[in-house]
Structure 1
Amino acid sequence: MSTDYQRAREALGARLRELRLSAAGGRLTGPQLAARIGWAHSKIYKLESGRQTATSDDLRAWADAVGRPDATEELLARLRGFESHIRSWRRQLAAGHRPVQDTWNAAVDRARTIHAWEEAVVPGMLQTADYARHIFLRYADLYGTKRDTDEAVRSRMQRQTWLYQGGRRFHALVWEAALHALVCPPAVLAAQLDRLAGTIGMDTVELGVIPLGASLRIPAANGFWVLDEQLVVAEDWHAELWLDDAETVASYLRVWKTLEQSAVYGADAQNVITRARRGLHAP
């Protein structure tokens, strides 16, 4: 969990404790407040110590129970403030993958320049529909979420229209390992590699591939995207991080540029993709 996120959660917890201690009608103990709301006492402790993330309903119940309904909007604003940066998969995927893709589409549509690094999969902007379908199914199985796969695929494919608009530039870096990863049947991966090779030469796409044998200046870690050098979107297993402070964005751009030094482009990138394609037992 990010330090900034944890600090924000602890700050919210401190505010909740302050409200409990200054409750209308007199100070409340943790057990007294828990009894009023109908919670286990341990939940009060976890929320106040920043060990558990409050939900909107939790905050409304807290404000009402301490006799301070006027504090509800303040508490909700605090929650929105840090959840806009750390978006847990559990919450995001509660309604399926399509809403997440629609949110991505809106962010991408506003961008003019995108830098992307993917070490395990082909970037979504360059995926075929079949490849994307298998990716969504894998994650739906992992998280046990709603299977709105077809809707999610359509949304991701819609995002790719960005590549055909003038004045846009997609700088993509992919580790060769992603070209061999059988997260889908070999025939689907073969078609995906053909699609990837076909993007080389597009005026809106600059595709770099880092060969497995390349010397790396830094480890090939988690994938991330930088939009207009103003917003970073990075994925972890528990959450998606949307980070917009200048120092963080600059750090991710340094990582991208460092990785780029190990990449090959043009005909050399084609050769790496062709090598991966030949290694598949697919038509």
Structure 2
Amino acid sequence: MNDRRAAIWSYMPIFNEDKNRWQGHYLAYTCDSVVAPNHSFGRIWRCESEVEGVEGIDGPYRDCGIVIEPGLDSQLWEGRQGVASFFPYRVGDKWLAFISGAYPYESTADYPFGGKPTHWYVGLAEADSLEGPWSRMKEINPITSIHPRFVENPIVSQLPDGTYIAVFDGGPEWLNLPNMLAYTLSKDGINWSEARYLPIDTKVERWWHTMRTPLGLIPEGDDVYTVVYAAINNDKRFHPMGMVKLKLDRKALDSLKFAD
């Protein structure tokens, strides 16, 4: 429980054009078998490539410390797992980042063992530069316009018309959730639309029992995107990865209504 990097997850590399270096963010939990969930009290750490340029993604990287973590600045919705994810993206001359939490507290009296095990919320943080410092956007958090109780690991890209799109884990069936890849859209990077879900098992053979996290959109040209995704196959000791190609329908995009 005293090891702040007992479990490491969700490494996200972002190329920092201002410094001409790769900057990585990753999640690290403390762990204890008697504290549910056993991955708790998440912190986001930052590292930076020592080699300049795009080729520096191979490393080595230097440790740059903690970016955002639980503390007096935390909000109740972040709960016992917060800060449970971090994905930064540029909006104009500022940076925003999705942060997330789970097992939210109803009051400060719930800390540290209370919380609802059925809620995974997201919110936003902001900074003037990718290196930070980062501050929570408390006045708008949590963001429930996407889904009232479950959004996990949103990863943000921009579509050709400038629309922001975040792909994320739409939630497992055992929580009465769609068990599909999901996405949400935004014109300004702050206000996000209601979640939409992608029933890819109507087009490809379903090999998974539980759909998990899409790992971003890879543009292939001609409005085609590749999505690599994590999923659970209960018959496998290690969970496989999947890959699917999606086609953007620009007429459908133009017809969609966005959150104000």
Per the TM superposition, whether the score is higher than 0.5 is no
Greater C-alpha radius of gyration: 1
Structure number with higher strand proportion: 2
Q: TM-score, normalised by structure 2?
A: 0.25
Structure number with higher helix proportion: 1
Q: TM-score, normalised by structure 1?
A: 0.23
